[in-house]
Amino acid sequence: MRSSSLSCFVLVILLATGCGVQPNWRGPQNLDEKYENMLHKWTHSSQIYHFLDSILLVHCTYLAPEFRDAFAEQYLKIFAIDPGKVDSDLEKIATSVGRGHEFFLFADSNNPAWNNLDEKDSVWRLGLWGGDDQPGVPPISIHRFEGRGPNLKAFFPYLTRFGRSYLVSFPLEQSNGRPILDPEKKILELKLASAFGTAMLRWKVK
């Protein structure tokens, strides 16, 4: 009995801390190993639980320069067209370079009404940090994708039909003019916070 109770306690602790959350990479997509390696490298996940109930699941890809290079190379190899001439979700990612620190973010909530990161009255507050000594910087824009078309799903296999996808853009600088990405610490931390829990994702940027 004690062993069972202890196992349940450990399980709850692991779930509460988001340990073991992994994206699903499987699918029929036929992409280059270089792109897939970059996708795995720059994608992190987090999950918020209330006991055993999932409140929010997040998979998030930082659109780092080397990821963008692999993305652009893969896009041109497949489609061989200028993405700026096509108005679709996949092309919004391909043409968004230069706007700041950007993230492709997938969120799945057990309460669909809470999956509204792009709305002003959203339960979630997003912020980006470059270290513990910085104040969090809010995004300058959050674009919600209309769907998860097959090409978008192929490039980001962790998408499911239950969640929503967003392109989240942050400025390069804090309000004091200093860069968010500290050249010495080289860390970026993205936080989604609410009164119901917090999801934290952290990247080491070379």
Would you tell me how many other CB atoms lie within 10 Å of the CB of residue 53? 9
Q: What percent of the chain has pLDDT over 70?
A: 89
Token pair recorded at residue 65: 């320069």
What pLDDT is attached to residue 148?
67
In 85-176, which ranges are continuous DSSP H helix? 89-94, 150-155
Q: For residue 74, is it left (φ>0), alpha (ψ between -120 and 50) or beta?
A: alpha
Q: With a cut of 50, which residues of the chain have pLDDT below it?
A: 1-19
pLDDT of residue 27: 83
- Confidence at residue 71, expressed as pLDDT on a 0 to 100 scale: 95
pTM of the model: 0.86
First vs last Cα of the chain: how many Å apart? 49
- Structural domain spans, the chain: 2-204
